[in-house]
Structure 1
Amino acid sequence: MWLTWLDAAQKLAQDPLPNNIKDSAALKLSPEGAAHVRPMIKAVAAKAHHLRAALTELNPEARKLTADAAIKTLKEAAYGKDNKKASDVTATDALGGNVATDNRQDTCTAKSGKTAANSVLATLACLCLKPFGGTPAGVCTEKAEGSATWSSASAAQSNQDVRNIASSCPSLKNAQNKAELLRQAIAVLPTLITTDAANGYLGSFKATNCNGAQGNGMCVQLDNYPADTKAGLAKLPWLTALTTLSSQLIQRAAYNTAQAELDKHLAAEKSQLEHLLVEPIKIATTEKTLGADGSASESPQNQKECDKNHNNKDNCTKNGCDYDENAKDGKKCKPKPGKENTATGTGEGAAGTAKASSGCAGHKNQPDCEKDKTGDKQNCAWRKGKDNEPDKDTEKCRNGSFLVNQQLALSMAAVFVSLVAF
């Protein structure tokens, strides 16, 4: 929590103060109000910190993952290029090069280079496309079987055949929880691999190899798969990429769910915090409106009553106002003097007590100012003004509540750092 407090303290040291702190009700509290809410503010701050700390930190790679990056990874795994789609992918894109002069058996063995390992479509081409002059059928859907143009060592697959395979795959555009569906598909794939003594085979395998011949297999060969299944699966880099992406998507989905729940709880804590800060001000304002003697001399309503009687001395005095026949501003009927009218929140220490505010303002020199104490507690301070105080650049005797409230604002700012700044 120390770093959060440090960040808050640095914000309080700024001049001018950040708006969310400068405008805070914390800086308008009286010393009594600040003392009243400080333990509650600390409790809210501790709870906010606890809630935030409970959110499991997201893996850095998952945190960096964007929707665009995820789509590019999916496209590259599926089509061999991250800027392709089912309608414009080519056989060269899918296999990583032109395989017209390569043996189908070599192309359909998972290894680096122009092979079935390059993309999902390249793998499916080995599983689905009938060879030139061959008769195997029914391995994939009829649409995905192709036009039998792939001739080992003499002709590559046609672009249209590869596109037909891509377009025959089901659409999951409107599916819910795509990350989980991807994870499930990845988990199922190893269960589709068959083996002999030496190798593994994804697809339809009968004997010898995956050259597409009727008696052999339309498949992808994974060399030495029985000896090391993990290394065998790693020969399909598109599978590795999708496994990583699936994990990151699931982490991010879980994080987003937890984040939404956290935001809801923190919003409630923030609302409670704002209520705690405002309530003492409401109470102080009510007390001032009534006046220390129970009169309404400082009430805005009383000001209105006085304003009605600038031309009637009798009515002016009957309404508890003072009448000045020679008032320079023409406003002859005014509320009785003697207290700062802080009910509107404009005087120094607007939410402080009338006694503390008027008392400090009445001291015209530093020694008298610093002698103003209640027991050991300093009521006033000889200083320049801060934000929200009049005559900022003038040193004079000011209400000490602002200094107290700076400490309270530190608690408040720390809470806001937890509530907002992450």
Structure 2
Amino acid sequence: KRNNGKKIYERLKMTTTRAAANAKIQKALQRAKNINEALGDAATAYLADIDSIKSKLTSAVFGKETATIDATAATGNWGARCSHNGGGTGLTISSSLALAITCLCSEKAGSVDNCGVGSGSQWADSTNAAGQKVTALWPALQNKCNTYARPKQLNPNTIYAAIAGVMARMGKGNTHGAPTKTNVIGETSDSSCDGSTGKLCLDYETALGSAAGGIKWINDLQEAATLINNATATAIEAKRLQQLMDLERQRAEDAYTEALHTEHQAQTTTTVKIENKALNQQQAQKDCDKHHASQENCAKAQCDYDANAADGKKCKPKAEAETTAAGTGDGETKCGSQKCFKKQNEDSNSMTPLFKTTMCVRHEMCETRIKVMRIPNTLEFCRHFRCIHKTGV
């Protein structure tokens, strides 16, 4: 049953069937509880990974876990701020991808617009004392980047591909005949980077040295990629756990449905037996009533004869009488009118009058059941009530 879309389960009677179903349901419930705990752990781990991914990506771009460039950490001239150590304090080209892009796209002198952001792209000395030049250039660079097609989805593959693209540029723009630095991105003629037109580059030689920890924003991106993989695996596991949860729910429902079917089947069988007994009694009464005048015929009809019956009904059914009654004469006429049938391969001449009459009574009872219970005269039904079935009758 359903109430406002929710299933309502009828309480079963206290039987062995219910006990067996309860045992199955309790086992399914315990498994479901364990699965639910695992689902909760998976959800917690997934959300933690998502938060960490956001933090790592933000840190990679801005050097901190705030989605904007900190002006106070990006002050000073190009030469100091865009050097390998940022002049000793604040953001560096290794800690912040946003600063690295800003440095690579803005000359400290000259009129070359390297990244197509307009005439304001120059980072002249003394124009960034409070970090105002960097905080003005970065949004302009973002807007320029947004004019190009980007990956529709950020996944580990796109992150690793971007990192590989950056690393592939190391040293490509260094035209120094005998370069002293190979880990330089951008243009230089003598392996040095100072922000001038011919030396607009980023020096990662120190960051990628054996004693250093690498380029921090690349490390952050790699960690973010790992976390994305973890979150994806956790999501897949959560989906599997949910499927197991659905399976346990179905097992519990199946156990209940099976028990309910068994209970209803038992009730139906009991009802049929009661009706069968009542019909047998009615038929026995009907047949015995025909022989009040003859003790002999009453006995032949398998009834009890009470010669002193006060109500005058001397021929009465035996207690708990079954469907055995005799018809008038040899039963041929009644048998024909009730469409009584002999079993297959049995010789009709070998059937005694009593057997023929009994079969007629049974058929009459079968027909009564069909009418009262509105059940088709099927082979299965006839067999259930020990009736003889014939197609088309």
TM-score, L = length of structure 1: 0.48
**2:204 paired residue among 222, 241, 250:** 222
How is 1:106-145 mapped onto 2 (pairs within 5 angstroms)?
A: 107-110=82-85, 113-114=89-90, 115-132=92-109, 134=110, 136=112, 138=114, 141-143=115-117
CA contact (8 A) 1:204 1:219 kept: yes
Q: Which has the higher contact order (CA 8 A, sep 6+)?
A: 1
Q: What is the alpha-carbon distance in structure 2 between the residues aligned to residue 264 and residue 61 of structure 1?
A: 19
Question: What amino acid does structure 1 have at the position aligned with 2:190?
Answer: A
Per-residue CA shift, 1:334-385, capped at 9, x if unaligned?
A: xxxxxxxxxxxxxxxxxxxxxxxxxxxxxxxxxxxxxxxxxxxxxxxxxxxx
Counterpart selection for 1:169 from 136, 142, 145: 145
Change (3 A) 1:75 1:35: closer
Which sits farther off after the overlay, 236-245 or 105-114? 105-114
State the distance in 2 between where 1:125 and 1:145 align: 14
The alpha-carbon distance between structure 1 residues 145 and 193, as it changes in their structure 2 partners (threshold 3 A), is farther
The 1:64/1:191 distance shift into structure 2, 3 A limit, reads same
The 2-side partners of 1:166 and 1:287 are apart by 76
Please tell me whether the aligned partners of residues 201 and 222 of structure 1 are also in contact (alpha carbons under 8 angstroms). Answer: yes
Is 1:148 the counterpart of 2:132 in the alignment? Answer: no
Calculate the TM-score normalised by the size of structure 2. Answer: 0.51
Q: Which residue of 1 aligns with 2:290?
A: none
Provide the C-alpha distance between the structure 1 equivalents of 2:156 and 2:208, rounded to a whole number of angstroms: 29
Change (3 A) 1:274 1:59: closer
Contact 1:26 1:277 in 2 (8 A): no
Residues 71-80 or 159-168, more deviating = 71-80
Structure 2 residue aligned with 1:251: 230
Q: 2:230 aligns to what SS in structure 1?
A: helix
Question: In percent, how many aligned pairs have the same letter?
Answer: 16
The match for 1:270 is 249
Aligned twin of 2:261 = 282
Aligned ranges 1:19-418 → 2 under 5 Å? 30-35=15-20, 63-66=47-50, 70-80=53-63, 82-84=65-67, 92=71, 96-100=73-77, 104=79, 107-110=82-85, 113-114=89-90, 115-132=92-109, 134=110, 136=112, 138=114, 141-143=115-117, 146-151=120-125, 157=133, 159-170=135-146, 175-194=152-171, 196-198=179-181, 200-215=183-198, 217-224=199-206, 227-228=209-210, 234-291=213-270, 294-295=273-274
Q: For the residues of structure 1 that align with 2:21 and 2:46, how far apart are their CA atoms?
A: 44
Offset at 1:84? 4.1
Consecutive unaligned residues in structure 2, runs of 5 or more: 1-7, 277-393
**Closer, same or farther: CA 53–160 of 1 in aligned 2, 3 Å:** closer
Gapped runs of 5+ residues in structure 1? 1-22, 298-422
- Change in Cα spacing, 1:59 to 1:238, as seen in structure 2 (3 Å) is farther
198-207 or 26-35, larger mean C-alpha shift: 26-35
Query: Given residue 117 of structure 2, which amino acid in structure 1 is its aligned partner?
Result: K
Gap change, CA 1:59 and 1:35, over 3 Å in 2: closer
